[in-house]
Amino acid sequence: MFRFLGRKIRDLFQGKVSEESIDRLQELFYQADLGVETAQKLTEKVRLLYRKKSSLTSDEILAEIKKELLEELKKSPLPPFSGKPQVILIVGVNGNGKTTTVAKLAHYYQQQKKKVLIVAADTFRAAAVEQLSKWAESTKSDFVKGKQGSDPAAVAFDGTQAGVSRECDLVLIDTAGRLHTKSDLMKELEKIHRAIGKALPGAPHEIWLILDGTVGQNGVEQATRFQQSIPLSGLILTKMEGTAKGGGAFAIQKILNLPLQFIGVGEKMTDLEPFDPQKFVDSLFD
């Protein structure tokens, strides 16, 4: 588990640093779900350092690893609002935390004095719309929903138009969870995407994929499949309060070249943090 990586590395190099212990370092990186490429690169960096300086300490090794990981993480500031309204489409697999994240984002941007409209384009389950309508109330957001079973693309269209006519700053569109392996559902997502663009040319301005931070490398496959259907622009990892397999974040950013925008750290609407690479790397080695 990633959380223990710092301790495991200290244990590994407690005796003396050697070529053999550095070999074992690579194994620890694999276990932390860092991905083959990053694991090998980090190991080679440490090896080079050791060959230059045989009296290397575990603290120096940890510092080097943190430095390298920071360089791997895309440092991209939160995208500025480029539309009025700015439309953000939220997508992802069932249970990953989309609806909760929409509520958290609504709260986050309300705090910054933005006028927010939440669109419930998850029309599969009445409970989902109900859940979101409560969140809209508690975050004091405008709310647009469709009838249960209605076409989610039509709801996304209406919601985007409402965002324009009500002069909102931000429209957050929640969608139904879909298995990235079901192609009809992915087609439906493409239709939602087109409908938003018809309601407001240039929208959606952002498409954020919500990933359960505990799935590790599995997230790469999910993200790749979504990326084939619609142009993802960012990533939010949820359930990160344990950072069990946060290493997957590195692999995903590297493979998909997608910036991590926020981290979900709990079930309350205040449990959302803008992604901070330095803080993230530090927390992994606590």
Ligand X SMILES: Nc1nc2c(ncn2[C@@H]2O[C@H](COP(=O)(O)OP(=O)(O)O)[C@@H](O)[C@H]2O)c(=O)[nH]1
Question: Site residues (CB under 6 A) for ligand X?
Answer: 92, 94-100, 177, 238-239, 241, 264-267, 271
Nearer to Mg ion, 86 or 99 (CB): 99
- We find the least distance from the C-beta atom of residue 99 to ligand X, in angstroms, to be 3
Could you tell me the smallest distance in angstroms from the CB atom of residue 92 to ligand X? 6
Cβ nearer to ligand X, comparing 35 with 264: 264
Residue 233 in tokens: 């622009």
Site residues (CB under 5 A) for Mg ion, limited to 125-154: 128
Q: Give the nearest residue (CB) to ligand X.
A: 264
DSSP, collapsed to helix, strand or coil, labels residue 161 as helix
* Nearest distance from C-beta of residue 90 to Mg ion, angstroms: 9
Which one, 46 or 128, has the nearer CB to Mg ion?
128
**Residues ≥6 apart with Cβ < 8 Å to 90:** 98, 101, 102, 105, 172, 173, 174, 175, 208, 210
Contact 97, 212 (CB under 8 A): yes
The footprint of Mg ion on this chain (CB under 5 A) covers a number of residues equal to: 3
Q: Using the minimum distance from each CB to Mg ion, give the nearer residue, 99 or 243.
A: 99
Choose the one of ligand X, Mg ion, none that binds residue 8, judging by a C-beta under 5 to 8 angstroms depending on kind.
none
Q: Which region, judged by CB under 5 A, interacts with Mg ion, from 37-45, 96-104, 217-225, 257-265?
A: 96-104
Backbone angles phi, psi at 38, to 5 degrees: -65, -40
Amino acid at site 159: G
Residue 99 touching Mg ion (CB under 5 A): yes
Q: Distance between CA 173 and CA 124 in Å, rounded?
A: 15
Residue 220's contacts (CB-CB under 8 Å, 6 or more residues apart) are 35, 248, 251, 252, 255, 256
- 87 conformational bin, left if phi > 0, alpha if psi -120 to 50, beta if neither: beta
Q: At what angle do helices 36-52 and 58-72 cross, to 10 degrees?
A: 140
Between residues 94 and 183, which has the closer beta carbon with respect to ligand X?
A: 94
- Minimum CB separation from Mg ion for residue 128, in Å? 5
Site residues (vs Mg ion, CB under 5 A): 98-99, 128
